[in-house]
């Protein structure tokens, strides 16, 4: 007999399991961790079922996903240490795996490289998110890259601060290390960590046709930023009249949010946009997350400080101006990386009643830029409509058009009326435009509507649970009554508490239960807005 064992269910397909990263598990509640164990059939000892850290270790043991460390920042002497290692230790070149990378790569000074640059890394075999080095035929090291997987596609990344040695006329290769251990060693070697040197190193050389480093040019036209209460968008207009919109995580809309992750040696670590939004998901039932919404309203009182209590238990006071500057730096750096140009002029859209205040504050916050806030948000909408009419040839020559612009943002509402006509003299378009500001409201916007929907959701849930008798919201004149809404909302507070400010004198557990109730309902109401108010069902 050639076999001395037997196999049951030989044709049975191997069940695929989901793997998890520790940083994602650390954001989850005890309930979520138990649910993962149930779903992935991980047996949990009874004594460990209430131990959150123990469940994380258990999941990582059986369903853990390796997290790779990437060389993505500047480090004094980092490239020199890598060069010394390569000179003193032979890298055995192998061709056991074919890896494809675009042959021509362009690097830009003062910027990094990410998935938007489009340098895909492909192979018929499995790739991992390891560190790579750029070498020539003599194994001289010039810079470092790393691989990042986005939506199942591997891309070539480079950190903004990683230096690039002068690229002269050589034959260049990107060195990929098939052994994950060697990639981890490159990280430790670059950052000066003391680890044992691997005895045998294999590498795959991927030849390049050309690689260049270029300076990013200065943009002739300004970077336009529409800084909203809930979301921000930005873009540039090119000399040929076309426009480009900046992306963040593949989206043109960037959440106007700032998160505080920590303070190290008097330097505050912030996260912005979608990373700050992801940070809100780290709210446990007994922990707070320092994420700030509606930061546009800070402009009315920018000299104040924000009080934050971090996970280390310390309380810090951070200037609002410092946080706004950090958020704007994030936006400008995002635009510089994508558009491959530097900006000297920033055009910020502002509510029409707050133009002067906007320009004074942002000129102070961004002293090295020329800041202009002349264009208000309502007029920007009108200009966009006129541009669309011209591009689609949907206008009549010399005809006067009337427009009413209702710009309902997250925190403010502007009403602008306009009267315009369009002429084409074959060289350019001439637009005659007359506008006037109508009666807007700087204290009413989409967030106020979201709050009302949140109230309705809370009341509806209490109705459905049977805690309160169903009532309608009509007043004596058969019209919707806000007094009735507020009355029912206060009654619902006894069953689903959301007024967490009233719980500051209670226990920590009670306070965060109530606070999480509020934010959960508010986020549910926010998503309801986009689905249509008719979906609320009240």
Q: What is the 3-state secondary structure (H, E, C) of 274-317?
A: HHHHHHHHHCCCCCCCCEECCHHHHHHHCCCEEEEECCCCCEEE
Instruction: Tell me if 4 is assigned to some domain.
Output: no
Q: What is the CATH number of the domain that holds 409?
A: 3.30.1300
Q: Which two structure tokens, joined as six digits, stand for 236?
A: 């540039």
Q: What domain range is 521 assigned to?
A: 446-535
Instruction: Tell me if 17 is assigned to some domain.
Output: no
Question: What is the pLDDT, as a whole number, of residue 9?
Answer: 52
Instruction: Tell me if 185 is assigned to some domain.
Output: yes
Instruction: Tell me if 3 is assigned to some domain.
Output: no
Instruction: Tell me if 477 is assigned to some domain.
Output: yes
Chain centroid to CA 277: 7
407 and 517, same domain (yes or no) = no
- Residues in the chain, overall count: 538
Domain end marker among 437, 456, 491: 437
Instruction: Tell me if 377 is assigned to some domain.
Output: no
104 and 45, same domain (yes or no) = no
134 and 164, same domain (yes or no) = yes
Q: What is the CATH number of the domain that holds 329?
A: 3.30.420.40
What is the distance between the alpha carbons of residues 110 and 167, in angstroms, rounded to a whole number? Answer: 16
Domain end marker among 215, 240, 264: 215
What is the distance between the alpha carbons of residues 88 and 477, in angstroms, rounded to a whole number? Answer: 89
Beta carbons of 386 and 431 less than 8 angstroms apart: yes
The whole model's pTM is what?
0.78
44 and 175, same domain (yes or no) = no
Domain end marker among 159, 190, 215: 215
Torsion 91-92-96-101 (CA) sign:
positive
Q: Which residues of the chain, if any, have pLDDT below 50?
A: 1-7, 14, 285, 533-538
Helix (H, G, I), strand (E, B) or coil at 199: coil
Question: What is the pLDDT, as a whole number, of residue 285?
Answer: 47
Instruction: Tell me if 490 is assigned to some domain.
Output: yes
Question: What is the pLDDT, as a whole number, of residue 511?
Answer: 82
Question: What is the pLDDT, as a whole number, of residue 51?
Answer: 79
333 and 367, same domain (yes or no) = yes
Residues 478/484/486/488 CA torsion (nearest 10 deg):
-130
Residues 287/289/290/293 CA torsion (nearest 10 deg):
-130
187 and 243, same domain (yes or no) = no
What is the distance between the alpha carbons of residues 503 and 499, in angstroms, rounded to a whole number? Answer: 7
Q: Which two structure tokens, joined as six digits, stand for 215?
A: 């300076």
The number of domains in the chain is 5
Question: What is the pLDDT, as a whole number, of residue 282?
Answer: 62
What is the distance between the alpha carbons of residues 473 and 452, in angstroms, rounded to a whole number? Answer: 13
229 and 291, same domain (yes or no) = yes
What is the distance between the alpha carbons of residues 28 and 53, in angstroms, rounded to a whole number? Answer: 11
Residues 6+ apart with CB under 8 A from 441: 412, 413
What is the distance between the alpha carbons of residues 234 and 476, in angstroms, rounded to a whole number? Answer: 48
* Residue 509 φ/ψ, nearest 5 degrees: -65, -45
Q: Which two structure tokens, joined as six digits, stand for 348?
A: 């910020």
275 and 363, same domain (yes or no) = yes
Instruction: Tell me if 5 is assigned to some domain.
Output: no
367 and 402, same domain (yes or no) = no
471 and 487, same domain (yes or no) = yes
488-509 per-position pLDDT tens digit: 999 999 999 999 888 888 887 7
280-314 per-position pLDDT tens digit: 766 554 556 688 888 988 988 899 998 887 777 77
257 and 353, same domain (yes or no) = yes
Q: Which residues pair with 100 in a beta bridge?
A: 122
104 and 179, same domain (yes or no) = yes
């Amino acid at each position: 007999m050639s076999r001395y064992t037997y196999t049951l269910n030989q044709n049975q397909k191997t069940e695929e399991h989901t793997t998890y990263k520790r940083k994602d598990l650390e954001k989850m509640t005890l309930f979520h961790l138990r649910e993962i164990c149930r779903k992935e059939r991980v047996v949990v000892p009874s004594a460990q079922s209430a131990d959150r850290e123990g469940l994380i270790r258990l999941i990582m043991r059986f369903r853990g996903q390796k997290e790779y460390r990437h060389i993505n920042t500047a480090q004094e002497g980092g490239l020199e240490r890598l060069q010394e290692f390569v000179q003193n230790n032979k890298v055995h070149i192998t061709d056991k795996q074919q890896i494809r990378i675009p042959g021509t790569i362009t690097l830009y000074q003062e910027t990094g490289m990410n998935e938007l640059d489009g340098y895909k890394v492909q192979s018929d075999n499995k790739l991992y998110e390891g560190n790579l080095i750029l070498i020539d035929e003599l194994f001289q090291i010039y810079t470092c890259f790393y691989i990042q997987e986005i939506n199942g596609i591997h891309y070539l990344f480079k950190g903004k601060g990683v230096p690039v040695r002068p690229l002269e006329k050589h034959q260049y290769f990107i060195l990929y290390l098939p052994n994950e251990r060697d990639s981890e060693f490159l990280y430790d070697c670059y950052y000066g960590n003391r680890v044992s040197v691997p005895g045998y190193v294999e590498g795959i050389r991927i030849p390049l046709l050309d690689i260049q480093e270029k300076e990013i040019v200065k943009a002739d036209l300004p970077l336009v930023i529409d800084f909203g209460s809930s979301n921000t968008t930005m873009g540039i207009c090119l000399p040929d009249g076309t426009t480009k919109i900046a992306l963040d995580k593949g989206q043109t809309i960037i959440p106007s949010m700032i998160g505080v992750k920590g303070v190290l040696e008097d330097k505050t670590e912030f996260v912005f946009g979608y990373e700050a939004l992801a940070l809100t998901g780290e709210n446990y039932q007994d922990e707070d997350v320092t994420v700030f919404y509606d930061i546009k309203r800070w402009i009315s009182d920018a000299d104040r400080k924000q009080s934050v209590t971090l996970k280390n238990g310390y309380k810090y006071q951070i200037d609002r101006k410092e946080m706004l500057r950090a958020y704007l730096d994030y936006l400008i750096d995002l635009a510089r990386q994508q558009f491959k140009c530097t900006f000297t002029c920033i055009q910020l859209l502002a509510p029409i009643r707050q133009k002067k205040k906007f320009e004074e504050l942002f000129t102070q916050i961004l002293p090295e830029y020329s800041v202009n806030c002349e264009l208000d948000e309502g007029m920007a909408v009108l200009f966009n409509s006129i541009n669309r009419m011209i591009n689609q040839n949907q206008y009549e020559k010399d005809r006067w058009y009337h427009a009413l612009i209702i710009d309902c943002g997250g925190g403010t509402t502007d009403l602008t009326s306009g009267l315009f006509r369009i002429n084409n003299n074959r060289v350019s378009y001439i637009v005659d435009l007359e506008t006037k500001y109508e009666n807007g409201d700087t204290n009413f916007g989409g967030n106020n509507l979201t709050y009302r929907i949140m109230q309705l959701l809370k009341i509806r849930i209490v109705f459905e649970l049977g805690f309160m008798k169903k009532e309608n919201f009509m007043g004596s004149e058969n019209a919707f009554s806000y007094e009735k809404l507020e009355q029912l909302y206060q009654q619902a507070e006894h069953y689903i508490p959301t007024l967490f400010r009233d719980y500051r004198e209670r226990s920590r557990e009670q306070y965060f239960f109530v606070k999480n109730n509020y934010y959960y309902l508010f986020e549910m109401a926010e998503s309801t807005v986009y689905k249509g108010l008719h979906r609320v069902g009240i």
